[in-house]
Chains A and B, each alone.
Chain A
Amino acid sequence: MLSREETAVVLAKAHMDVDPSITIVYRIHVEDEREDDFATPIHLLEVTEMTPEAGIVPVGFGARKRDGLLYPSVVVQITPGELERIQGGSLALPGGWRLDDRPIRPGN
């Protein structure tokens, strides 16, 4: 069974594989996230210059038990400019959300 961390990497790489414009993905940690909590989604922040700039727009997907992915997911797509604004503090993530400091890239 894949852990939350492993599932996040599998999801991120699957999305980058289908959509090569996604250059970098960050896992978002949310408050009260637990390994054995299969109801709380894994949150991903995907960076692509092809998405319209619209701020933080969370989109939710169900678990994929058939594919061994037991957690639902929430995906937010932003542009590189919006990522800079998040990192600079002028664009806020929702309360309780924190970016992981190890980005997932296509090759790693």
Chain B
Amino acid sequence: MREDLPKCEHLHLLQMACEKLGKAYRCRGGTPPSALRTSHAYVAKVLPQIVAEYAAWATKRPPVHRSRWMSSVRQLAGEIEVLAPSVEREGSREDNCEYPWRNGTGAVHAPCDEAFGGVIGLLADIGPIFHKVLRVAATDLAQ
């Protein structure tokens, strides 16, 4: 991460990359691209499957505590998905990495001032393997 940029900039790019990757693998599964244009919600469902597929064949397997590792992957994918402002989040979350929002008391929050502690914490835990798998998955699509 570039320290001179706010975290929301990094997270916006990560969210878009994960969304495009999810859509690409759905297309590979036979879904027509036209059916994927109207939503950004392709990360929480699809990304853990992509990670599991590539982790299954990686030379260095994921950590021994696989249930916990995959649980973290799913949690991270869910957090990345709701970074897109248009994704429904059951009314409980307004934070996103693109537009300002008001909290329950009416105070305005800007993405550039937010710490995004949940997703940043998960990235600190499993980010290196997660990023590596995403890179391999994206490269594989191009071959």
Contact = CB atoms under 8 A, between A and B. Distances in A.
To the question of whether A and B form a pair in one complex, the answer is yes
Interface of A: 14-15, 17-21, 50-52, 54, 57-62, 64, 67, 74-75, 77
Interface in B94-129: none
B132 interface: no
Contacts of A21: 67, 70-71
Secondary structure of the A side of the interface?
Answer: mixed
Interface residue tally on B, bucketed by range:
20 to 34
Contact of A77 (B49, B55, B66, B67): B49
B3 interface: no
Interface of B: 25-31, 44-46, 48-50, 52-53, 55-57, 61-62, 66-67, 70-71, 74, 78, 140, 143
Secondary structure of the B side of the interface?
Answer: helix
Given A21-B67, A77-B49, A59 B56 contact: no
List 10 A-B pairs, minimum CB-CB distance, nearest first.
Answer: A60-B28, A58-B29, A60-B29, A14-B56, A18-B56, A19-B52, A19-B70, A59-B29, A18-B52, A20-B67
B24 to A, nearest CB: 9
B57 A67 contact: yes
A18 B67 CA distance: 8
